[in-house]
Every structure is written in structure tokens, then in C-alpha cells.
Amino acid sequence: MPDGGVPGGVITVRGMPHEIESSLITVDGLRAYLSRPSGGSRQGMLLLPMITGIGAQLREFADDLARSGITALSWDPWHGPSADDTPLDDLFGLMRKLDDEVVLDEHRRLLDHLLGELGCAKAGVIGWCLGGRLALLFGGRDTRVANVVAYHPTVPGTPDPNHTLDAAEHAARIEAPVMMLYPGADDLVPVESFTRLQTALNSRAGGPSIVHVYPGAEHGFTSRQRREKPVNADAYALSWPQMLEFVRVTTAGS
């Protein structure tokens, strides 16, 4: 395996990976998963998971970021349940009850912790699926974020009833660098929605954008289950190391 490699052949870091420490913690009454290099890091990321919550998949993502030298603090959208112990149908029911404003306040409190007690000088936000949409919202709301990464953000053509905030409108307000990754065979997000998000990002006077399109890849292509299909595995293998480098560069410095 090459330096920084993980099973599957994806190179995740330069040189040797960091030793990490990880645990479930409570931050201002919020349950969260913390994974960081041993001794901490001045670089941080707030992780907003897909519907599976802070289950095994999200912990894999967080640990990989930590091995690359980043403190990763993961939001628990369900305050306990995850795909580890809860049927997906039940989690979909919880998802339909999420309130955008309540959620953004929870993100703010976790970012406070990253930039405060955890000692990060800079911190960005990364989300997958439902978390990808929320990352765009949070990036447009909180100017402290050092970057925004939105993996296959779930922004359907017709907004869900509880989507009270417009993702494209907030994307246009983001001041930080943005990386957005869209699968060409996304069955939840029509190309018109992706185009609207990209247009919003392009409208910004500052804040560079990196937009990836993966033809044939499916919604949620980063998840381990989806990666059983070669087109999704290839999209993950190409995008993941580039995302890690983007995070490393945008959170560097004091």
C-alpha cells in the first residue's frame, strides 16, 4: 500500500498518516463524534453527515480526515440513532422533521467548539447528501468557515416541505472557497438544480469555486455500499484525495 493509502487504493495524505484519537463527546448539550490527530491540530472541519448519521460511514470519513492532520468534529443530526442501530425508514422520518434554523444553530455551536476549546485556528465545513445541502446553507450564514465542501448535496427540484431556506441563495453568499461535487446520474437532484447551484457560486465576487461532475456516478457515491459499483468507486477514488488537499490548503495558516 502506498504512503497514506487506505483499503481500496485511495491515497489520502502526504507521507505517513497521523496517529489519531477518537470518541463520542458532548458539546453544549449536542452529541458529536470527535476524531483528531493525537495531540490535536490547528486545522479543523465540521462534518455534516448523510442520512446515516454518525454511524460507521461517517466515522470512516472523520477518521480519514484526522489521519491527514485535520481535527474532525461530526454533527449528530438524530441525537443518538444512526444507521448502525436504526432502520433507514426511521431515519428518513427523522429527516423530514429537521428544521433549517434549528440545525444551523447547532452547527454554529459546534464550530464555536472547533475554534475555541479544540484550538483550531481555521475550520471549514463538509457535508454529504442532506449534509451537503446544509453545508451550503451554513457557509452562506457563517463567515468564519474557511471552506465549504458539498458532496452530492441533496437539493431536489421541488424543495421538501421542511426546506425553508434556499440552498442556491445561500451558496451565492458564501465568502470562503467552495468545492461542490455532483454525480451525473443523481436520481434525487436534477441537473437543473445543480446548474442553479453552480450559477449561484459563479455569481460570487470573491471566493473561488471548484466544481466536479462525475458522469454516470450516483447520488451518495461516496458511501461504501454505493462504491460496490465501479463508476461510483472511481468517482470516490478521484475526488477524495483532491478534497483532502483542498481542505489542507484552505485550513492552513493562523
Instruction: Convert the pLDDT of each residue in 77-126 to its tens digit.
Output: 999 999 999 999 999 999 999 999 999 999 999 999 999 999 999 999 99
pLDDT at 17: 87
What is the CATH code of the structural domain delimited by 20-250? 3.40.50.1820
Taking the C-alpha atoms of residue 187 and residue 81, their distance in angstroms, rounded to an integer, is 26
Strands (E), the chain: 20-27, 30-37, 43-48, 71-75, 122-128, 148-151, 178-183, 209-214
Task: Report residue 148: phi and psi, to 5°.
Answer: -135, 125
* Structure confidence at residue 14 as a pLDDT band (50, 70, 90): low
pLDDT at 64: 97
Contact 43, 251 (CB under 8 A): yes
Q: What is the mean pLDDT of residues 196-205?
A: 97
Instruction: Convert the pLDDT of each residue in 181-193 to its tens digit.
Output: 999 999 999 999 9
pLDDT at 7: 30
This prediction's pTM: 0.93
Instruction: Convert the pLDDT of each residue in 117-127 to its tens digit.
Output: 999 999 999 99
Q: Where are the alpha helices (DSSP H) in 88-190?
A: 88-95, 100-115, 130-141, 167-171
How many Cβ atoms from other residues are within 10 Å of residue 110's Cβ?
A: 24
Res 15 pLDDT > 70 = no
pLDDT averaged over every residue in the chain: 93
Give the distance, in angstroms, between the CA of residue 233 and the centroid of all CA atoms in the same chain: 18
Q: How do the domains of the chain map onto residue ranges?
A: 20-250
Q: Which three cell numbers stand for residue 65?
A: 480526515
Contact 167, 132 (CB under 8 A): no
